[in-house]
Chains A and B, each alone.
Chain A
Amino acid sequence: MQRKHLITAAAAVLVTAGCATVSMVTPAQLDEQALALHREAFREQGIAKLDRIEQDLGQKACSSPNPPPDAVVQQIEAQALASVKWPTGGVYLGDWREGEKLAQNGRGMTWTDATADTKANGAQCYNCHQIDQKEISFGTIGPSLYNYGKLRGVKDVTDPAAAPIVQYTWAKLWNSKAYSACSNMPRFGHAKLLSEQQIRDVMALLLDPKSPVNQ
């Protein structure tokens, strides 16, 4: 604990100078100090390198209890939508059984995980969403996805009438920020958390009329 931080030292000077209050430190200065605190606190461990605390536009803009200005929101959403990689050969759906396994799996990308390969990752869906009604242990940070395809009238995913919802769902999974700049949901495709095939499998869980989600 011998480490004396520059900022702490600077603040100590303010204190000894007397009549120090937080109001003397401007919000902008506090922002800078908080960033410095992050850089000072973290060290890399396993696959979790220090670049993980370097924020991109959206992460930075959404790091406050208040939403970013409209112009920034639009910029983030436009960038996110442009980043979406559409599925090779136009094949949107995989196997819902694999999708269910991925939805159940909350693992991957922590410093205790051996590899950042998408094969080691789950999609963590049940952490935040209700999906198959049989699973009673589901989170509520996101909306219920039970009957996701059925509620949206998807009876045949190859039907052109279903295309808009199929494509929306793909983009939402690939980069959730395309429709909500500060969405709590990870950017599964964009951040390389899941492979194209894994996203297809999750798509099938949500949209395949045979999936238990749509019964």
Chain B
Amino acid sequence: MMNRRDLLSHSAKLAALLATTGLLPGVAHAAYNAAAFDAKTMADLMKALGAGTPTESKDVSITAPDIAENGAVVPVGASTALAGVRKLAILVEKNPAVLSALFEVTDSVDANMGTRVKMGQSSNVYAVAIMADGRVLYAMKEVKVTLGGCGG
């Protein structure tokens, strides 16, 4: 792990660089897909992403706990060993909007993304892989969200 001081001074330089160019070096960023993040169902989401009908697949894995001690932080991972993955998505079925995170992967990273999401209640959680050949594959797991502590 790098020294924190170095990290700070380095990032200050970087920030200065970015400020002068006004651009991130070499980043062609897709515009934020607001429609996808408004989608209430998996079907709506696929429409917003311009993707086909998803099918369950053993080649896609979801990592999530059986029980979450608190819904504010639920660790979720999506991965697949398949080649030709374009996007990986993490969905929570019963959240007000189903999509939590959408990753655009390149050949320079494993198709294996981990993050943490909020869950309002117990729900199915999905890892979805959108493939270069148009296939949409998913894995699903139920996560129980428990009430904890004194509750006051």
Contacts and interface: CB of A to CB of B under 8 A. Distances in A.
Interface of A: 104-108, 110, 113, 122, 124, 126-127, 136-137
Contacts of A122: 151
Contacts of B150: 106, 124, 127
B81 interface: no
B151 A106 contact: yes
B148 interface: yes
A40 B144 CA distance: 44
* A-B interface, 5 closest residue pairs, ranked by CB to CB distance from nearest: A106-B151, A137-B146, A107-B152, A106-B152, A137-B147
Interface string B111-147: 0000000000000000000000000000000001011
B150 to A, nearest CB: 5
Which residue of B146, B149, B151 has the most chain A CB atoms within 10 A of its CB atom?
A: B151
A110 B151 CA distance: 11
Contacts of A108: 152
Nearest to B148: A137
Contact of B151 (A113, A127, A136): A127
Contacts of B144: 136
Contacts of B67: 136
B146 A107 contact: no
Interface of B: 67, 144, 146-152
Interface centre among A106, A124, A126 (most CB of B within 10 A): A106
Contacts of A136: 67, 144, 146
A104 B146 CA distance: 11
A104 B147 contact: yes
Contact of A110 (B146, B148, B149, B152): B152
A127 B151 CA distance: 8
A146 to B, nearest CB: 17
Contacts of B151: 105-107, 122, 124, 127
A48 B148 CA distance: 24
Contacts of B148: 137
Contacts of B152: 106-108, 110, 113
Contacts of A104: 147
Nearest to B144: A136
Contacts of B147: 104, 126, 137
Given A107-B151, A136-B144, A137-B146, 16 more contacts: A104-B147, A105-B151, A106-B149, A106-B150, A106-B151, A106-B152, A107-B152, A110-B152, A122-B151, A124-B151, A126-B147, A127-B150, A136-B67, A136-B146, A137-B147, A137-B148
Nearest to A106: B151
B10 to A, nearest CB: 40
A103 B144 CA distance: 20
Contacts of B146: 136-137
